[in-house]
Chain A
Amino acid sequence: MSTLQSDLQDVFRRVFDDDALTITGATSAADIDGWDSMAHIDLIIAIEKQFGVKFAGGEIAALGRRGQTVGDMLQLLESKMGRIGG
């Protein structure tokens, strides 16, 4: 697991209050109890704070659509953090 994915997993664990929760690239809202639209906002807020990034309004909505995965999230996060770093 990449460092980024592991850090993201920590965020998931805090937001969903589950220290045993594991995520993979294929994890989606259907796999996690309580990942509803409200929790999605909580997740976005926690990710922004943890990684110091900002998602555009449209990206927040897109990540919340049915079928979106942790992999999509990681990809977006990587591109944002890459932009900050480079």
Chain B
Amino acid sequence: MLSDIVERFMVSGSGDAEATLHLVRWLKDELKAGNRQVVVEIFPRLLIPGLDYTTAMSLHRILKQLRAGGGRAPERRTRIAVLGSATTHQLVDFLDLYLHAGRVEVELYEADYGTITQEFLDPTSGLRRFAPHFVITCTTWRDLKSRPLLTDDSEAVGRKVEAEVAAWSALWRVARDEFNCQFIQSNFVAPPWRSLGNLDVQHPAGFSRFVSLVNRALADQAPAGVIIQDVDRLAAEAGRWHWSDERFYHQAKLPCAPEYLAEYAYNLAALILAQLGTARKCLVLDLDNTLWGGVIGDDGLGGIRLGQGDPESEAFSSFQSYVKTLGERGVMLAVCSKNNPEIAREVFEKHPDMVLRLDDISCFIANWDDKPGNLKRIAAELNIGLNALVFFDDNPAERSIVRQLLPEVAVPEVPDDPSYRIRALERYRYFEAVVISTEDLKRKEYYRANSVRQALESSAASLDDFLRSLEMQARIDPILTVNLERTVQLINRSNQFNLTTRRYTSAEIQKLMSSAHWVVRTVSLRDRFGDNGLINVILARIEGDSLVIDTWLMSCRVLRRGVEALVTNHLAHVAAERGLARMVGEYIPTPKNDLVREHYPRLGFRQLESDPAGRTLWELRLDEAWRPLTHFIKEVVVDEHTAV
């Protein structure tokens, strides 16, 4: 059970100084009393946005104490270098803290103040030795070197903008080509003052105009592997005068006012967690008093408050519109409501002011069962983990029970006033997107098509008949620039159908794409119900007489459709073409990939070895006895399909 102190802190959403003080004291007391495990378990959940500076410092000290005692096994590890022309010490600590909240343990490298370029270019720099997965820049407007003069015309200013971007892009290239790492480029915050007043935004030499042009050019020119951190946006959220508390720049070269450092770090952590594939995937919504005002079972279709006419109804409508935009960009939407299912669905079908419709909802559960149980059902039906869910419910009792029983589910506080709900949800930055791929845009359709397929499956006489009736067509491609982002997304997100769970950055994959020793493939699948998009990734390397499968992963939405057989045949063909005698497959168990424990034996591989940790190695000899596996997928040959 959560103690009252913890619950009070969570409900206050870090906004209650006294609750926060009590929490820190309680954590220390528990540690002193030897209840380390209690603190280890609860700690990541306490790291919510908006922590004040002193509290974040205290919590970071507690984190260090927890680590010294062994801590908790992280889900992911990464290496991050922070390079700044401002003091980054506090930012680095807070980043460490918030990444811990995302169950990522990070090794951090903090460069000396003001040595960004040297760190990149010096062949003996500490950064180079550190070999980061991510490089983060922490800069201020003072780093902009080629500033516009009042006598400059637009063209001259344009050249200065390009000069700024060129200086950064030189570092981007080093990061990609030499460090193989992702580059998180912070954009610039203009000073809060404007010497030209309103004209500052219009005059070619206006400095705030110049800063926004540089920001725009950085965003436009950033290649794959370079991510823009929108610090300018954080400053706007805080209010520019508040953000730029000059006293702390003059005194300590802090990049922003101390009270916003935690927010700065939280934003960075959200970005990095999304890159690592641990962003949340699904928003689970309550209905009554969450999507509309009133209770449908009591008030009826005509009685609930939604649509134009009164402020409260409008607030519910605008919340729905916001949620719909999340759905459109690929966040899965689910309903979890204590309601009569027919009555609940009827609102979506018949109420003229509903913005969300049934086809926006990937999983709709309305019944009288408890919500924790229903959330588990939603996760199972959508084939995602509980840690991919965000539960949004106006009822504090429901939030409390979900927090108690399902610690993996994110449960934001929901303010009573529906006008503030978008803000309440946004502040957690749950759904940071790496890229919006075409797959994201189509996700809703996949899940809908899947339920039609499931219906067909139950009516087909045999599995073979069913598979044949799907009229599947697959396209096998090398990894190409056009599918690189989606490939990287899958590599970093897939947990269940993933034989080795090795993660790679976009820069690393680009290296493999051009290597003669690697066979890298993607598979896209369509069937009579629609296009499933890119659903399978293979990274295999040639080693002696073997094709060694380093990475094999597949989207769970095409499970048991024969893709595994298709891929095996394809790889066997590639191996034979190159005169290789066998294929070698590897399985590394994780808490999430039990699904594929028997993957290789099912495909006719023979076990070579296993170790005590459960890792197994398999072999398929490509001699005369081997026969291609049966499946019902037609391979479509594409003209531009070229072997690597």
Contacts and interface: CB of A to CB of B under 8 A. Distances in A.
Interface of A: 14-15, 17, 19, 37-38, 41-42, 45-46, 49, 55-57, 60-61
Given A17-B61, A42-B57, A49 B247 contact: no
A49 B54 contact: yes
10 contacts: A14-B54, A38-B89, A38-B252, A45-B53, A45-B54, A45-B258, A49-B52, A55-B247, A57-B247, A57-B250
A17 B54 CA distance: 11
Nearest to B89: A38
A17 B58 contact: yes
B248 interface: yes
B251 interface: yes
Contacts of B61: 17
Contacts of A45: 53-54, 258-259
Nearest to A41: B252
Contacts of B247: 55-57, 60
Given A17-B58, A38-B89, A41-B258, A57 B251 contact: yes
Contacts of B24: 14
Given A15-B57, A42-B53, A49-B54, 4 more contacts: A17-B58, A17-B61, A41-B252, A41-B258
Given A17-B61, A38-B89, A46 B248 contact: no
Interface in B260-304: none
Nearest to B247: A57
Interface string B237-254: 000000000111011101
Which of B61, B246, B247, B258 has the largest count of A CB atoms less than 10 A from its CB? B247
A55 B248 CA distance: 11
Contact of B251 (A17, A42, A61): A61
Contacts of A46: 53-54
A19 to B, nearest CB: 8
- Closest 6 A/B residue pairs (Cβ): A46-B54, A57-B247, A45-B258, A41-B252, A45-B53, A57-B250
B254 to A, nearest CB: 8
A19 B21 CA distance: 13
A57 B246 CA distance: 9
A10 to B, nearest CB: 9
Nearest to A42: B57
A42 B252 CA distance: 11
Chain B interface size, under 10 / 10 to 19 / 20 to 34 / 35 or more = 10 to 19
A60 B252 CA distance: 10
A49 B252 CA distance: 18
B258 to A, nearest CB: 5
A37 to B, nearest CB: 8
Contacts of B52: 49
Interface string B1-45: 000000000000000000001001000100000000000000000
A15 B54 contact: yes
A44 B248 CA distance: 10
Contacts of A49: 52-54, 259
Contacts of B254: 41
A61 B252 CA distance: 10
Contacts of A14: 21, 24, 54, 58
Interface string B87-119: 001000000000000000000000000000000
Contacts of B246: 57
A57 B253 CA distance: 12
A65 to B, nearest CB: 13
B5 to A, nearest CB: 16
Nearest to A57: B247
Contacts of A61: 251
A41 B54 contact: no
Which of A41, A42, A55 has the largest count of B CB atoms less than 10 A from its CB? A41
A36 B480 CA distance: 53
Contacts of A41: 248, 251-252, 254, 258
Contacts of A17: 58, 61
A14 B24 CA distance: 9
Interface string B218-246: 00000000000000000000000000001
Contact of A60 (B28, B53, B54, B251): B251
Contacts of A19: 28
B54 A42 contact: yes
A3 B339 CA distance: 55
Contacts of A37: 252
Contacts of A42: 53-54, 57
A5 B377 CA distance: 56
A60 B53 CA distance: 17
Nearest to B21: A14
Contacts of B251: 41, 57, 60-61
